[in-house]
Homo-oligomer: A and B are copies of this chain.
Amino acid sequence: MPTDVASLTREECWELLQREEFGRLAYGLDGETYIVPINYAVDEGRLVFRTAEGSKLSAILRGGTVAFEIDDIGPEWASSVIVRGPAVELSEEEARWADQLRLRPWIRSEKQHVVAITPTEMSGLRYRLHRPWRSMMPQP
């Protein structure tokens, strides 16, 4: 592995997961792969998010493993954490606890189901970025 890529420890992965609140969920349905941005929170070693009824909910609850990614991209470094694991829907009682988390939806829409991913795989990388074209791009 080149010296400008470093693995994150499990603790560092959790720190980044705690700090962020926006990630991307990937799941399979009928042999197809889908990806969707989600707002999430960390609760007792799980990643918890709200979702509405629909194909996403059906797919992620079918017992398969879902994949989830967050990242933190700065001017010189980028960190990314990838989590994989099964997703389950929380009971109404458990879902009420989720209201104690910072899991209010970012957007006002009906998202009545609360789902938790329990990570069975977790990995994180921190990259030093080389973006030689940056100096050639128009500056905002």
Contacts and interface: CB of A to CB of B under 8 A. Distances in A.
A133 B5 CA distance: 34
Interface residues of A, number: 44
Interface string A1-16: 1101100000000000
Copies in the complex: 2
Contact of A28 (B1, B24, B31, B82): B31
User: How would you classify the secondary structure of chain A's contact residues: helix, strand, loop or mixed?
Assistant: strand
Interface in A105-140: 105-109, 127-133, 137
Interface of A: 1-2, 4-5, 21-22, 24, 26-28, 31-37, 64-69, 71, 73, 78, 80, 82, 84, 102, 104-109, 127-133, 137
